[in-house]
Structure 1
Amino acid sequence: MRSVRFVALGDSLTQGVGDPVGDGWRGWAALLADGIAGPEESVEFTNLAVSGAQTREVLELQTPAALALRPDAVSVVIGVNDTLRCTFDIHAVAERLDKVYAAFTEQGAVLLTACLPDPGAMLGLPGALARPLARRQRAVNRVVHALSDRYGAVHLHAAEGGWIMDRAMWSADRLHPGERGHRQLAVRFHALLAEAGLARGTAPSPEPEFPVPTNSASLLWLATAGTGWVARRCTDLLPQLLTLAADEMRHRARGTSARLDLRASAAVSAALAALSVGEQADVA
């Protein structure tokens, strides 16, 4: 029996946070895995995703481990944690993702990617705080879109659609999908793979296997693990986010907010152009 190797890279989303099974997490990638292999095949699934990971960790730690497994299919869903750090640099994000995507496509693996929703909107932050994060996430998504096209990835547009505002899809922290949301991602990825002739198994069920956590259980999670998760990110991001918010309000007061969008767009274009120049130099 032929074995299909599927490896998942990324952060807490791919690790499965929000979809608890037993003492651990399951998540969309595990739900998708069984649907990749056909009737006469088995699947070997390895999840290398780690909560809190950024593109740097994916490039430097997860990618070498995944390449050693020589996967037939690999998912690389990453970027939100980069936007939540004071060190955010769209040029560095683009360069890292380009290297990761290239490494797997050169090895012959089917590459799965996704653009993701804006974390500020998911958290319901005030406009002045939410807009800088939204601008960063749009920048990451533009890079992922462009590089997915370049490397022929199976790309899921997860940053749009009614599922984003459907509270039934999300866990208590409002940043990670619940079981239903993870199943939605798995179903949509399977449909794209099946359309391309790359998924030969049965599609995952969109219906939850376990009861939705009670309000008290959700509040308990937020008061314990959830509070720690937010605090760790706020310690790093909050001082810069407040500076970004102040800049946002100054531009709005002057009627020059469009300059911030143009500046972010120009940074993405420059980052992608730099990759193209580097690629031409390598060929020469």
Structure 2
Amino acid sequence: MRPVRYVALGDSLTQGVGDPTPGGWRGWAALLADGLAEEPAEFTNLAVSGARTRDVLERQTAEGLRRRPDLVSVVIGVNDTLRGTFDIHTVAARLDRVYAAFTAQGAVLLTACLPDPGAMLGLPGALARPLARRQRAVNAVVHALSDRYGAVHLHAARGAWLTDRALWSADRLHPGERGHRQLAVRFHALLADAGVATGPAPSPEPEFPAPARTASLWWLATAGTGWLVRRCTDLLPQLLGLAVDEVRHRARGTGARLDLRAARAVSVALAALAAAERPDGADGVDVACRLSGGVRP
């Protein structure tokens, strides 16, 4: 009997940034792979730091499909929210194509919703709220598409683990070893409940000592700062404009309009995908109504 084939797609989170080992980054996906079966899994990590949904669709998916995995994890989206070109319609269309390709091949799909980067970085409210709104939009799309394709889905956008500093690395965007292990443990539990993971659960206890505070601060001031700047350069002018708009709406007491606008964009994006599958568009109307809280006309 051949080993379980597991392919991981995504960005720096899945690549393992924040969980250094003597051989390089490890991360939650590698830890999870060890517990998928009694025998070692055939694990391929295609995740790349800085990747967006476009990279997953255009660069990682073809290689992943070629390996014909039994399990594929697709955890992506935060880098999309950090770019000036963010568009939830495009994000939804790309994820839909990736999910469809792997499930059509018979792979079990593993997904997750993620915390917003503004909150994790501790940005001021006027800057953090627009990023939070974008991440909520991505999460709503991931929720809906995960349900459509029968994915095993982890709700990682909320919970006490987000505020436990012992679980996070110095940059506050990536988990440390403890955090990666928490993700691996939670993913494994979901897969075990679904009858997919039959091996031992990953240990939640770290294998290596946590980096000294001075080492963490040095990394943040050098490599970590460069990492953040590379991902946010084209966003900064737009984010400042969004912050001004945020302040203006809050002063007028109309801040709810921004949330409604974002929810409407998600609704339209998902309705468009459903309508493309069903030319009469009936299912698209249902999707839009459920997400907007409205009623079917």
Superposition TM-score, scaled by structure 2 size: 0.93
Shift in Å, 1:23: 4.4
Asked if structure 1 preserves the Cα contact closer than 8 Å seen for 2:32 and 2:185, the reply is yes
Using the alignment, how far apart are the partners of 2:253 and 2:218 within structure 1? 43
Cα offsets for 1:44-65 (capped at 9, x unmatched): 0000000000000000110001
Using the alignment, how far apart are the partners of 1:152 and 1:282 within structure 2? 24
Indicate the SS of the match to 1:75.
Answer: strand
Using the alignment, how far apart are the partners of 1:3 and 1:72 within structure 2? 10
Superposition TM-score, scaled by structure 1 size: 0.97
Partner of residue 56, structure 1: 54
Cα offsets for 1:205-226 (capped at 9, x unmatched): 0011110110111011012110
Equivalent of residue 123 in structure 1, options 108, 121, 124: 121
Using the alignment, how far apart are the partners of 1:109 and 1:101 within structure 2? 10
Using the alignment, how far apart are the partners of 1:77 and 1:165 within structure 2? 21
Asked if structure 1 preserves the Cα contact closer than 8 Å seen for 2:29 and 2:184, the reply is yes
Equivalent of residue 218 in structure 2, options 203, 220, 226: 220
Using the alignment, how far apart are the partners of 2:80 and 2:183 within structure 1? 21
Asked if structure 2 preserves the Cα contact closer than 8 Å seen for 1:32 and 1:190, the reply is yes
Partner of residue 25, structure 1: 25
Shift in Å, 1:2: 2.4
Q: Which residue type is aligned with residue 187 of structure 2?
A: F
Using the alignment, how far apart are the partners of 1:23 and 1:173 within structure 2? 21
Cα offsets for 1:137-169 (capped at 9, x unmatched): 000000000000000000000001100011011
Partner of residue 175, structure 1: 173
Partner of residue 245, structure 1: 243
Asked if structure 1 preserves the Cα contact closer than 8 Å seen for 2:10 and 2:76, the reply is yes
Partner of residue 4, structure 1: 4
Partner of residue 88, structure 1: 86
Q: Find out whether 1:184 has 2:182 as its counterpart.
A: yes
Shift in Å, 1:184: 0.3
Indicate the SS of the match to 1:113.
Answer: strand
Using the alignment, how far apart are the partners of 1:210 and 1:225 within structure 2? 21
Asked if structure 2 preserves the Cα contact closer than 8 Å seen for 1:2 and 1:42, the reply is no
Using the alignment, how far apart are the partners of 1:109 and 1:23 within structure 2? 29
Equivalent of residue 277 in structure 2, options 266, 276, 279: 279
Partner of residue 234, structure 1: 232
Structure 2: where are the runs of 5+ without partners? 282-297
Partner of residue 13, structure 2: 13
Give the percent of matched residue pairs that are identical in Structure 1 and Structure 2.
Answer: 81
Using the alignment, how far apart are the partners of 1:128 and 1:79 within structure 2? 21
Using the alignment, how far apart are the partners of 2:25 and 2:14 within structure 1? 10
Partner of residue 34, structure 1: 34
Using the alignment, how far apart are the partners of 2:60 and 2:88 within structure 1? 20
Asked if structure 1 preserves the Cα contact closer than 8 Å seen for 2:7 and 2:69, the reply is yes
Q: Which residue type is aligned with residue 279 of structure 2?
A: A
Partner of residue 166, structure 1: 164
Indicate the SS of the match to 2:68.
Answer: coil
Q: Which residue type is aligned with residue 177 of structure 2?
A: E
Using the alignment, how far apart are the partners of 1:147 and 1:252 within structure 2? 32
Equivalent of residue 152 in structure 1, options 131, 140, 150: 150
Using the alignment, how far apart are the partners of 1:172 and 1:140 within structure 2? 25
Shift in Å, 1:267: 0.2
Equivalent of residue 201 in structure 1, options 199, 202, 205: 199
User: After TM superposition, where is structure 1 displaced by more than 3 Å over at least 4 residues in a row?
Assistant: none
Asked if structure 1 preserves the Cα contact closer than 8 Å seen for 2:50 and 2:231, the reply is no
CA RMSD of aligned residues (A): 1.2
Using the alignment, how far apart are the partners of 1:251 and 1:116 within structure 2? 26
Cα offsets for 1:213-257 (capped at 9, x unmatched): 101110110121101111112311111000000000000111100
Q: Which residue type is aligned with residue 76 of structure 2?
A: I
Asked if structure 2 preserves the Cα contact closer than 8 Å seen for 1:129 and 1:241, the reply is yes
Indicate the SS of the match to 2:233.
Answer: helix
